[in-house]
Amino acid sequence: MTPSSADTGFVPTLRCGRFELALDRPLVMGVLNVTEDSFSDGGRWLDPAAAVAQARRMIDEGADLIDIGAESTRPGAPPVPAEVEAERLLPVLRALADCGRPLSVDTRKPEVMRAVLATGLADMINDVAGFGTADAVDAVRDARAACCVMHMQGDPLTMQHAPAYRDVVAEVRRSLAARASALQHAGVDRARIVVDPGIGFGKTLEHNLALIARLPELLGDGLPVLIGVSRKSMIGAITGRDVEHRLPGSLAAMLASVARGARIVRVHDVAATRDAIAVWAAIDAAI
Ligand code: HH2
């Protein structure tokens, strides 16, 4: 069951750059990694023409948004210089200007945020570091883009060394609420903010499972929740499957999240995700 807006008090629409997104059904965000080394598809979409074709394929399959990233955040990933990141992102953004879907940019560097926002084509900034610096907040405050505030303990180089929490759900919730209020304090409209518990970012399998199982607690602050479980190592840990064979497990975790109130799901396999949500929604509507 999806908690209604009356139950949770969250904002039913998201202001997202050139778009206003109704959050009355789960939205599918297709992942486009313009990288050499992403954990599941590194190198496949590094060529701008291949990246644009993949984005258009995901749109044909029913993606509601496209999330474009040019730096892998898998555990241990080496940082990509800001200029390289921007050089990878800008041609793809420009080529997708007329694609009819909001374009999200997955970056944690304020200079990259500024470069993509200057084009007017970045409808969301997805910061896996959760806008934790004054510079990142400053980069987005006067824009129209939505802000996805993700929780990460540590940074990608070291985050999986020994993640530790007393109560992971309470701590993630508190941290996301604090970052969201810092953004609002700086002038970002609340209707531009989504939060994400950051599955796999400085978390053990048990932490990830608790965050999904207790996702309704994250809705308590009234902000829409985005979640990414697609192909992640938690799916591999449970099923024993390598990264190419994690779709069934990913769909199960995605549906468990949607059933607990997630409003945007970040996925690599758009068509399969749309089908799974359609079946879940049909059953949910029959109650
Ligand atoms: N996961 C990844 C990257 N960005 N952003 C948000 N908001 N939530 C997530 O769960 C999330 C994210 C990791 O997945 P992927 O982009 O496929 O891999 P890589 O970081 O190796 O490029």
pLDDT at 167: 97
For residue 76, CA distances in Å to 37, 127, 145, 154, 161 come to 11, 18, 29, 11, 10
pLDDT of residue 11: 47
Q: Which of these ranges, 2-11, 231-240, 268-277, has the smallest mean pLDDT? A: 2-11
Q: What is the mean pLDDT of residues 97-102?
A: 98
Distance 129 CA to ligand 1 centre (A): 11
Residue nearest to atom 10 of ligand 1 (CA): 228
Distance, in Å, from the CA atom of 113 to the CA atom of 129, rounded to the nearest integer, reads: 13
CB 83 within 8 A of CB 40: no
Q: Which residue has the higher pLDDT, 161 or 62?
A: 62
| Strand, coil or helix: 15 | strand
pLDDT in tens, 109-121: 999 999 999 999 9
Q: Give the per-residue pLDDT at 4.
A: 45
Residue 64: per-residue pLDDT:
98
Helix (H, G, I), strand (E, B) or coil at 114: helix
For all residues of the chain together, what is the average pLDDT? Answer: 94
Domains in the chain: boundaries: 25-280
Task: Check pLDDT > 90 for residue 140.
Answer: yes
Q: Which residue puts its alpha carbon closest to atom 18 of ligand 1?
A: 38
Is the predicted pLDDT of residue 158 greater than 70, yes or no? yes
Looking at the CA of residue 148, tell me the nearest atom of ligand 1: 7
Distance in angstroms (rounded) separating the CA atoms of residues 152 and 202? 6
Place of tokens 């950051």: 198
pLDDT above 70 coverage of the chain, percent:
96
CA of 6 to the centre of ligand 1 (A): 31
- Residue that the structure tokens 């996301």 belong to: 176
Strands (E), 88-215: 103-106, 124-127, 146-150, 193-196
Active site residue 109: no
CB within 8 Å of 216: residues ≥ 6 apart: 3, 8, 260, 261
One-letter amino acid for residue 249 of the chain: G
Asked about 232 being catalytic, the answer comes back as yes
Q: What are the CA-CA distances from residue 221 to residues 22, 26, 54, 162, 257 (Å)?
A: 19, 19, 35, 28, 17
Question: In this structure, are residues 120 and 161 in contact, taking their beta carbons and an 8 Å threshold?
Answer: no
Ligand 1 centre from 155 Cα, in Å? 13
- 73 CA to middle of ligand 1, Å? 6
Say how far apart CA 236 and CA 258 lie, in whole Å: 20
**Residue 3 pLDDT exceeds 50:** no
Residue 249, Cβ density class (10 Å: 0-12 exposed, 13-18 middle, ≥19 buried): buried
Q: What is the pTM of this model?
A: 0.95
Tell me the two tokens of residue 199.
Answer: 């599955």
Ligand 1: residue of 38, 65, 73, 127 to mutate (most ligand atoms within 8 A of CB) is 73
Is residue 154 helix, strand or coil?
coil
Distance CA 287, CA 282 (A): 9
Q: Please, are residues 157 and 139 in contact by the beta-carbon 8 Å criterion?
A: no
| Stretch 89-113: mean pLDDT | 98
Expressed in angstroms and rounded, the spacing between residue 24 Cα and the centre of ligand 1 is 24
Q: Given the residues 192, 231, 263, 266, select the one marked as catalytic.
A: 266
Q: Name the closest-CA residue to atom 9, ligand 1.
A: 228
Overall fold of domain 25-280: TIM Barrel (3.20.20)
**Which H or E element spans position 14?**
strand 13-16
Q: What is the pLDDT of residues 20-58, one digit of tens each?
A: 999 999 999 999 999 999 988 888 999 999 999 999 999
Distance, in Å, from the CA atom of 227 to the CA atom of 215, rounded to the nearest integer, reads 10
pLDDT value for 5: 45
Distance from Cα 202 to the centre of ligand 1, integer Å: 13
**Residues 264-270: what's their mean pLDDT?**
98
Tell me which residues have their CB closer than 6 angstroms to ligand 1: 31, 33, 35, 38-40, 69, 72-74, 106, 126, 128, 148, 150, 196, 198-199, 226, 228, 266
Q: Is the pLDDT of residue 80 over 80?
A: yes
188-225 per-position pLDDT tens digit: 999 999 999 999 999 999 999 999 999 999 998 899 99
Annotated active-site residue in 108, 232, 246, 263: 232
Residue to probe by mutation, ligand 1, list 37, 68, 127, 128, most atoms within 8 Å of CB: 128
